[in-house]
Amino acid sequence: MNIKIYAIGKVKDKNQLNAIKEYDKRLGRYCKIEMILVKNKEMLLKKLSYKSYVIKVSTEGELFTSEGLAEKIKTLGVSGTSDMAIVYSEEDIKWDEHLAVSKMDMSLGMFMTILFEQIYRGYRIIHNQAYHK
Amino acid sequence: MKITFISVGKIKESFYTKQIEGNIKNIKKYAQVQVIEVPDEKCPEKLSDKEMIQVKDKEGERILSKINSGDFVIALAIEGKMISTDDLKSLIKMKQTSSIVFIIGGSLGLSEKVLKRSNYKLSFSRLTFPHQLMKVLLTEQVHMVVK
């Protein structure tokens, strides 16, 4: 599976970047994942491929569980969808699914850390591998 | 305003501890902050229900020993309320005269006694987070609402 996570903005905090890097490394054996940060909506729309399964994430979306995300990754894989695009944005974009990590706001680096960690957790769940809380 | 964070177990990853330290430093500009880590119980993979309750109770006693009678206690719990940052801001504002205590449980969660003592149960997400990441998320959120 190719997973791309898009957002408008920047992650400057070194420790947040290190956390993301760590999960990125651990995910290497399961999927291809990439964080794509752009300056504005125009750039976002330009980069975003609608051939992918698009998941919009904002505080207005539907809350989901770690098991639910694992199931989603698994189902998409089985159905032959190889590209997943996760877009963290309040912008009006075309989406296949609209989800929420939390009703609360958070920094972009925090969001990315959570997403990378949850996708890693998702693969551990799919493969029945232990993962500590 | 006085804010206390109580959590169970040590945080190991340095990229998490550094983020928590940074967030705490930011909160200290607006409030008096205390950070308490109580020791966790050894928790093997397979525990019976009874053993799980024992672990939670032991950790719970350590948590309760750090709470004062007048504290406004906000426990992070799966069954807690999911609210927006603005709603949390209002809640904290309402309680700013008292000492506010946030509690993050161990890997099995919080004991019945701790949940009973809490004045508010809060949930950030339906996702299951590692307890270290939860503490980063909580401290970042508290910084957002006190600033």
Q: What does the DSSP assignment read for A13-50?
A: -HHHHHHHHHHHHHHTTT-EEEEEEESSHHHHHHH--T
The pLDDT, as a whole number, for residue B11 is 85
Instruction: Tell me which residue of A42, A33, A34, A32 sits closest to A8, measured CA to CA.
Output: A42
Mean pLDDT of A23-40: 96
A59, A113, A130: residue with CB nearest B133? A113
Task: Decide if B107 and A121 are in contact by the 8 Å CB cutoff.
Answer: no
Each residue's pLDDT tens digit, B95-125: 988 899 999 999 899 999 999 999 999 999 9
Mean pLDDT of A73-101: 93
The mean pLDDT value of chain B amounts to 95
The pLDDT, as a whole number, for residue B45 is 76
| For B134, nearest residue in chain A (alpha carbons) | A114
Q: How confident is the model at residue B143 (pLDDT cuts 50, 70, 90)?
A: very high
Distance CA A118, CA A41 (A): 26
Instruction: Tell me which residue of B7, B136, B31, B5 sits closest to A110, measured CA to CA.
Output: B136
Task: Decide if B125 and A63 are in contact by the 8 Å CB cutoff.
Answer: yes
Distance CA A43, CA B130 (A): 34
Task: Decide if B127 and A66 are in contact by the 8 Å CB cutoff.
Answer: yes
Instruction: Tell me which residue of A4, A101, A102 sits closest to A54, measured CA to CA.
Output: A4
The pLDDT, as a whole number, for residue B133 is 95
Contact with chain A for residue B82, Cβ under 8 A: yes
The pLDDT, as a whole number, for residue B73 is 98
pLDDT at A132 over 70: no
The pLDDT, as a whole number, for residue B127 is 95
Collect all residues of chain B within an 8 Å Cβ-Cβ radius of residue A13.
19, 22
The pLDDT, as a whole number, for residue B40 is 94
Task: Decide if A114 and B137 are in contact by the 8 Å CB cutoff.
Answer: yes
ipTM surpasses cut 0.90: yes
Q: How confident is the model at residue A59 (pLDDT cuts 50, 70, 90)?
A: very high
Q: How confident is the model at residue A90 (pLDDT cuts 50, 70, 90)?
A: confident
Helix (H) and strand (E) counts for chain A? 4, 5
The pLDDT, as a whole number, for residue B8 is 96
Task: Decide if A15 and B131 are in contact by the 8 Å CB cutoff.
Answer: no
pLDDT at A17 over 90: yes
The pLDDT, as a whole number, for residue B107 is 87
Asked if residue B24 lies in contact with residue B33, where contact means CB atoms within 8 angstroms, the answer is yes
The pLDDT, as a whole number, for residue A133 is 55
Measure A46 CA to nearest chain B CA, in Å.
31
The pLDDT, as a whole number, for residue B87 is 97
Token pair recorded at residue A89: 């944005």
Mean pLDDT of B69-80: 95
Measure B51 CA to nearest chain A CA, in Å.
18
A15, A63, A114: residue with CB nearest B133? A114
